[in-house]
Amino acid sequence: MEKRVSNDKKLHAYIIGLALGDGNLSNPNGRAVRLRITCDKKYKELYRYISDCLKKLLPDNSVFLIDRPTYVDVTCHSNKLEGLLGWKAKGGSKFKQNVRIPDWVLRNKSYSKECLRGIIQTDGSIYRDRGYLMVNIVSNIPSLANTIMSAITNIGYKPNMQIHQDPKTVKYTIRISKNTDRFIEDIGVWKK
């Protein structure tokens, strides 16, 4: 029997953001692709929300919370995940596969907001620097960093990107430092 996938494009864009942020694909048993999204244990509401969203996206599939010492892995198995997310379980790291925010998400402000919310909730930070509210997203994947910049710009904000390079790695730091309160409210970021 064919397993269902939700038609909710906002939900799909949000899950893509979560996976781009702190998720990975694998196929440990050779039968079904596994998505694992890692969440700090202190964000109990967030990892439960992520679990609920995966259940809505893939209503016929089981979702598991795997308790680790300092974090929780939210996992789900489905052979539809590679098509939904746009990269392969056995294609190597997200860096090697040049993952990015898909064009269909970038073309729609509502979908872009959902995807950005997922990325920031799993792999971004919100903090104060000298009294100013900031949002940071750090990546070592150029294609992902560039599409994050595009998504933020497309919804009306002016991010900046700093590139830090040492002999072995390059790190892209994307920062929203203007209208940050409005940005956070606009995309609905929360962590608890």
Q: What confidence tens digit (pLDDT) does each residue in 95-106 have?
A: 999 999 999 999
Superfamily of domain 123-187: Homing endonucleases (3.10.28.10)
Residue 113 carries which side chain, given as an amino acid letter? K
State in Å, rounded, how far the first CA of the chain is from the last one: 38
CB atoms within 10 A of CB 126: 17
pLDDT of residue 1 exceeding 70 = no
Residue 121: the pLDDT is 95
pLDDT of residue 180 exceeding 80 = yes
Residue 29: the pLDDT is 82
Per-residue pLDDT band for 28 (boundaries 50, 70, 90) equals confident
d(CA 96, CA 102): 16
The dihedral region occupied by 80, where left means phi > 0, alpha psi between -120 and 50, and beta the remainder, is: alpha
Residue 69: the pLDDT is 94
Mean pLDDT over each residue of the chain, to the nearest integer: 94
Tell me which residue of 80, 102, 104 sits closest to 32, measured CA to CA. 80
Residue 166: the pLDDT is 87
> Per-residue pLDDT averaged across 25-33, rounded?
89
Residue 173: the pLDDT is 96
